[in-house]
Amino acid sequence: MKRDLFLAYVAFGIVCFVWGTTYLGIAIVIETLPTFLFAGSRFALGGLLLLLVAQLRGEKLPTKRKDWLNLVLIGVLMVGVANAVVVWAEHYISSGFAALLVATAPFWMATMEALRGNSDFTRRKLLGMLVGFSGVGILVAPEIELSSINVQLIVGVIALQIGSIAWNYGSIRSKYHLSPDIKPFTSAALQMLLGGVVVGVFGLLRGEASAFYFTTRTLTAYLYLVVFGSVVAYGSYVYALSKLKTSTTSLYAYINPLVAVILGWLILDEKFGWNVALSMVVIFSGVALVQTAPSASRKIVEAGTAVAKPLDPAEV
């Protein structure tokens, strides 16, 4: 058990760093590759590679119809919606900007867990969410001129929040709605493969095949995203998710933007203005308030005025 917990935190550390680098990789790849065919092929290929690893480990494929349906849904949510939205948004906003907007993920996770009854909203959590989203306002406001509103920017901001909601809902379904006998590597592989195929087919239907070509620079970034961003990091995320609380795994949103902003500034010469620095501090402060807020039910139990509800075994 201790070994599993140790490996889960190692996997979580991989997610924190590697996914921060993927924003840079995406920004490079889309110099020549179209949005949906790129996102679909990346995850479909990564899923095939990870599935091969899982099969070599002796893991079995799911046997229940409901598990296959859930895996398709999870793949579409996390690959088809969440990741494809990030790729699309980076056509119009910087990689660091996108990463900071995705940093609101813990707010959506806290909301969904509260709706499931696994946690509750306290004043501190609500304050944290208000603080975090005010940080998004600080980030976006200087980019919007009153005389000429950047519609694509606004749509990109909204789309990234929709993508974040889809990602977190997919994460919850991955943790709570799949049979426990499905191993993490097999689960991650099938999520990527099934979601990638759906997105790739959508890209083909949009006629993106004619615009799909590589340069040495984009091919290098593409292979990095397939191997490290998909196989290594996505597999690590699903493994960590199976062993740790969802509120813990969502904390990768702390680290990813730091890595993405620094790499974007160093390599792509992206802007690092006062609003980026300030919004980073404000968003992270909001996330900290949400993550450290004790639940109301816990306060009641500690005060000895009520009996705590049984813990969900998946959350222990």
152-203: pLDDT as tens digits: 778 888 888 899 899 889 988 888 889 988 998 899 999 999 999 999 999 9
What is the mean predicted confidence (pLDDT) over 35-55?
Answer: 94
pLDDT band at 121, cuts 50/70/90? low
Angstrom distance (rounded) from CA 40 to CA 34: 10
Contact 83, 43 (CB under 8 A): yes
DSSP lists the bridge partners of residue 148 as 145
Grouping H, G, I as helix, E, B as strand and the rest as coil, residue 308 is coil
Beta strands per DSSP E along 175-245: none
82, amino acid identity: A
